[in-house]
Structure formats: C-alpha cells, structure tokens
Amino acid sequence: MASIQKNPFANIPGVMTITEDAARFVEHVAFGDLPEEALRIGIRCLLDGLGLFVAGSDHECVTILAQLAKETGGKGEALLLGSSDTRVPAPVAARVLGTAGHAHDWDDSQVSLDPDHVYGLLMHPTIPSVTGALVASQLLGGVSGKDFMLAFMTGFEVECKISEWMFSQHYKRGFHSSGTVGTFGAYAAAAKLLGLKSGALRCGFGIAASFAAGIRINFGTMTKPLHVGRACENGVTAALLARAGYTADQSALDGIWGFCAVFSGGVAADKLSQGFGKTWTIVHPGVSIKPYPCGVLTHPSADLMTRLIKDNGVKSDDIDSVVLMAGSNILNPIRYPVAKNHLQAKFSLPAILAMIALNGKAGKTEFSDEFVGSDAMQAMQQRITCRFDPEIEAMGFDKMRSTIQIVLKNGRTLKSKADERYRGGPENPMSDKELEDKVCRCAEGVLSDAATRRLIETARQVLELPDAAVLANLLHE
C-alpha cells in the first residue's frame, strides 16, 4: 500500500486575512495612534539607523553598488548615498541605502518571546522600514517629520508581526528574514507616504511577496547586506508599481500558495488575534539595539569576554587557551571557526573573542580585513575553541546562553556564564548616551564631529521637521 504523505499545509488556517488586515492598517493608522513609548523607542531606532547608513557608506559592498548606480544613471529622485550631488531613481537609492545600513551587521534585532523562535534569529526591522520612508520622503518632498515617523513605524510594525506569526521554519530552512520579510517593511513605509489605498495596497503586498528573497548561505559575504538592500529596493518598487496600477493577487500573504505558507509552512493561528497596531512590537516584546557590529547571538559572549579580560587584568600574551560552550542555536549560525576577513568575523565567535583579547573591544576598527587578517588575530583565533554543551542545549533557545573558560599561561583558570540580560536588549537597553556614542563611532572617518552632532540633534528633533528629506542630506555632510 502506498504511504500517505503528510499535508505540508495542514497548519494553514482555513480563512486568513493577513493581507487585508495589513492593508487596512497601513491605510488607516494615524500619528495619534502611536503610543508615546513606541515613538520614544522609534526615535532611538531612527538615530541608530542613520548612524549605520553613515557607517556603511564607505564599505566596499556599498561603494561597488554606488558606482554601478552612477554608471547606470536614470531619473534623479533621491540622493545616492556617498554622493551629495548625485540623485538616482528611488528604488536604486533604496538599494544602496539599505545595503549600507546592514553592511556592518550592526542594525537592531527583533525580539520574540515564543520559544519556538530561536532568540535573536528573527529580523532586523529598522533599516528596511526607515529606508522606505526616507526614500519616499525624498521622492515626494515636503513630508513632515511626523508623517515620516508614522510611515517608518508602520513599516516596522507590519514586518515584525509577519515575521513573528510565521513558523520558525522560515529561518531554519535557510531564508534570511531581513531580506524576505524586510521587503514588506520597506513596502509598507513607502506605501503609507505614497497614499496607497484599498485594492492598490493589497496588490502592492502581492508584488512585494513575489520579490522577497535572501538565503543564509551568503552570510559572511557581501551578498548578506545586499539582501537588505534588495528588500528596500523591492519594497519601494512594489509601492511605485501599485501606485501605477500594477496588479497582483490581493491575498498574497494568505492561503496555501501565499507567502507565509510557501516560505514557512504557515502561521501560528493563535497569534493572528494580536493584529497590527493593537500592541506595537517595537514596545513588546521589543527590539535590541546592537553594541557590536556582528550577529546578535555573539553579544552576550562578547560582553562576558570583555568582563573577564578587564576584571582580571588579562593581557593577550597571558592567554594559553579559551573555550566557549554554547548550544546549537548559537554554534550553527555563528559558523566560522577561523575568520579570514571581516565579513566572516561577524559570524565567528573565535574572531570576536580574539578581538577583545587583543584590543579590549570589538568595534568598527576591529571588524576590518586588515585587522582580522593580521598575524596576531590569526594566531589568537587558533587558541579559541567553541564546543557544544548539551546542558545549555537542554535549557532551550528562549535566551542566548554561553560560558567561557580562559586558561592562562600561569595555570590560572577563569570561568563564568554570560548574562542572559544582554546589553542592548529590552531588559538591558543601551542608554541614550551609549547610543549617541555608537553613532559617533559609526561616523568616524566619514563625517566631521560637527556634522555628526548635527545628525544626532536633527534625529532627536525629527517630529519638528517640516521636510524629513533633510535627514538624507545630513548623511553626506
């Protein structure tokens, strides 16, 4: 007798209205609907995102895209990042801007309390949505700071809810959520400012659903940040096409052939009642603003290594060996045992711990090919081993857990556990001063101190701006 295959769509609810609900939310949400706390956090995320655009503006993966954009040309609708006197078509500007924002893997991370979602492995929500809003603001002109922030936070909410509702198989199968689901964030932000309504809005979601792409095999290469750049480009393109009357299925997020089913096997039906904007994801469960320019799964371990080194006065020459113990949730995605360049280092715990052992920190300077490829870094990484810990594995993936043991050449051993309330997360957020310091580090070598201060102050006063497009100008001073 032939075996009966399991229906891969058995978990798809009989009636889904995600596309309709998302479109209704985008069309009708108003500035007055934004909770005060959501707006406060949103301005922090905006400031972080602007700093990351600057940080990535001179990255090789961005300068290649920018040069190609110059050579291709086209209608001047929005500023080309890195060129204060060059304007390019809006989708092209979004591609370059979005890639820059993710170039250092320093952008914020969505938080989930669902134990089925591996903590830290949802999406980076700010860059797609703020790019969509900033490019659309330039395209239209005269967009107020309040309208800009409403569009940004609309996109943020839409993409985060979709990411949360989808089954975790999406990421586990190898899709990069910031490249796939991020398309909807950029689209919703742009669509809000373009004033799309009803059927056009729903068609735009359908267009965006067919554009969504990005696979994790490209982590550690230039193509990872391009995933986010393409999400931004595709989201803006979807909004422009929908405005022009282009059609698509008006329920493309729903049903057995919709985005959620095809990309993840379905959605958690019990979560759909959360709705869009009933509770704002940016507030709860929240968002992590990163202190380190690398995968968030490495951050608790980086903080622990820093503490062990500083509290015990350890010098790099004192270290005989380092062993990091963690579960598969950390060891599988953070996959390079020895990093040869700065892109691999973002997904290499030996590299990040070696940076801290050598320089006492892991920042923009350390994440460079010159530093990572140095003899000292290559040698130090050889002294650091990552091992699977079944006890940590058994505790689950709701937190990012690890232990570090440092054996010194004098025979002394230092050992401790990482703090589950990691720095930058909702339970232990960076202070406003720490965030501004991060923006200053992002701008080093790109903007003058005075230009950086103007960027920070303008972002802080975004709600008073008569034309939010000025934010794009400040990235080039």
- pLDDT of 383-407, one tens digit each? 999 999 999 999 998 889 999 999 9
d(CA 261, CA 131): 27
By the 10 Å C-beta count (0-12 exposed, 13-18 middle, 19+ buried), 16 is classed as: buried
Q: Where are the domains of the chain?
A: 18-291+443-474, 296-417
At residue 5, the pLDDT reads 45
Tens digits of pLDDT across the chain (477 residues):
344 445 555 566 667 899 999 999 999 999 999 999 999 999 999 999 999 999 999 999 999 999 999 999 999 999 999 998 999 999 999 999 999 999 999 999 999 988 888 776 789 999 999 999 999 999 999 999 999 999 999 999 999 999 999 999 999 899 999 999 999 999 999 999 999 999 999 999 999 999 999 999 999 899 999 999 999 999 999 999 999 999 999 999 999 999 999 999 999 999 999 999 999 999 999 999 999 999 889 999 999 999 999 999 999 999 999 999 999 999 998 989 999 999 999 999 999 999 999 999 999 889 999 999 999 999 999 999 999 999 999 999 888 999 999 999 999 999 999 988 889 999 999 999 999 999 999 999 999 999 999 999 999 999 999 999 999 999 986
> Domain 296-417 falls in which CATH fold?
60s Ribosomal Protein L30; Chain: A; (3.30.1330)
- pLDDT of 79-130, one tens digit each? 999 998 999 999 999 999 999 999 999 999 999 988 888 776 789 999 999 9
Q: What angle do CA 68, 70, 74 make, to 5 degrees?
A: 110
At residue 12, the pLDDT reads 67
Give backbone dihedrals phi and psi of 164, rounded to 5 degrees, phi first. -70, -40
At residue 10, the pLDDT reads 55
Are 331 and 388 within 8 A, CB to CB? yes
- Domain 18-291+443-474 indexed as CATH 1.10.4100.10: yes
